Structure 1
């Protein structure tokens, strides 16, 4: 089959026809519009006349024949990765909430949560999904969850659910998280000695790692062992952005008391299986810490005590009942 074309009136009109041997099959005629398009006005031929109005055909140069315009590519779905901030109205108390959402090269999502006004940062988000513009976040540690839809203006509009309460929470993308000032946290240089130590724990194969702070001057000094609460806590008992044991050890050492604080079994630089550890195991670790303190020449063996927080208070009581080396105990927020 061959193509023939005819132009007239300075390319304002065009007439196209097709021929098959001697018999023409028909003729398409119309007006050439902008961008070399042809507005079809009619078709005449052996098949009869069919009216076609308002159909825009695009064609390339005559030698190239007819060409179909490319369909624009679909825009990629919006990314949810980034830092998102909102304000939660919890019974008249306004609390800032931030989510740090990270997308891996493979497309997987992970996140952490901050509550700056409560001093909590880096709370693990246990579940993250974003599909068809809907975001689901599960925060098991806080007992809460967030569900939102991405609005046309790029915000996340949804609700925060926790302990039976469902509260509206709109998140906006921000460039960075607000800085949290911790003026109570001590900064070096310190007016005392700081030693990083390791010693045998309360079971074979367990090594406990900690920090021993010693006052300046001539000893021996009274000493305390800090016992952290439940959970995978390090020597500073770091939780929700706070480091209470770092603050306590600094305050006591500045006042002439040696302090040993340590990573709990299976946490930080300490070895052992935390998942299988019992209260009795932690009590044995406390006794091991006392034995280490007693071996230090700078420590007065007759002036050693225990400071236990929460679950650590239980261990302090138990250890004091088993060792005559305990001269005193201090219980902070002990259960019961």
Structure 2
């Protein structure tokens, strides 16, 4: 923690100010969320916002506002809120983590509220700019939680991981999660939790996630009446995990099974499975062979001899 209050008489004032800022952020988020959470955030006209938020917005305020202006203002508002929340959790003393009992600036209730904000935002947001920046803030939060001395916060990251793994396997996922736009913020949500886990923990969360996700992608659905929602989401998440350089060599042990699942997905009768398989395959190729090292020789591709590839996939 980098922020400390040396004079205790100012502690209550700081707490009050931070509390007001958090509530203000939640109020702004409530107004702009319908836009960035829309299935087509780029196509919402300002007049539609009046219908969505009749208590906070009136048509007179939106006379000269274009759809582009509306979208930019909304997703940038979410961006600043996400980054602000991430910095709050990362920099401020939080309850149960300070040496002195009452010297914290963020209560556990406020921390939980911020966590709920990130969960909802990453699950429901469709606008790429909004959930990519939310990922940065949520990553800061997860990094802080993994390092906390109190097991309360560390356990919360495990609960989030369990929650998302259970959710993508249920019918409820179709209502709460985004199957288009490469899964929206869902892969980022899992990536933030898994990639920030301390190495000394043995990457247990990574192992658990990979076990569940690989099982889902290996499930072959041929009947057109059956749902493949979970399979597609699992492929999107795996693609994000294999792209993450912070996972290093730890993720390579799962490359063989993922590569087989991706290739098998090319034969699926469903277009969305074939598309997700292509993305997963591309991520695996980059992870195994690396990106092109030479910017000058664009025709020269990275390569590995067969023996090295076999050793990597073992």
Same fold (TM over 0.5): no
More helix by percentage: 2
User: RCO higher in 1 or 2 (8 Å CA, sep ≥ 6)?
Assistant: 2
- Which interval holds the TM-score relative to the shorter structure? under 0.3
Max radius of gyration: which structure? 1
TM-score (norm 2): 0.25
TM-score w.r.t. structure 1 length? 0.24
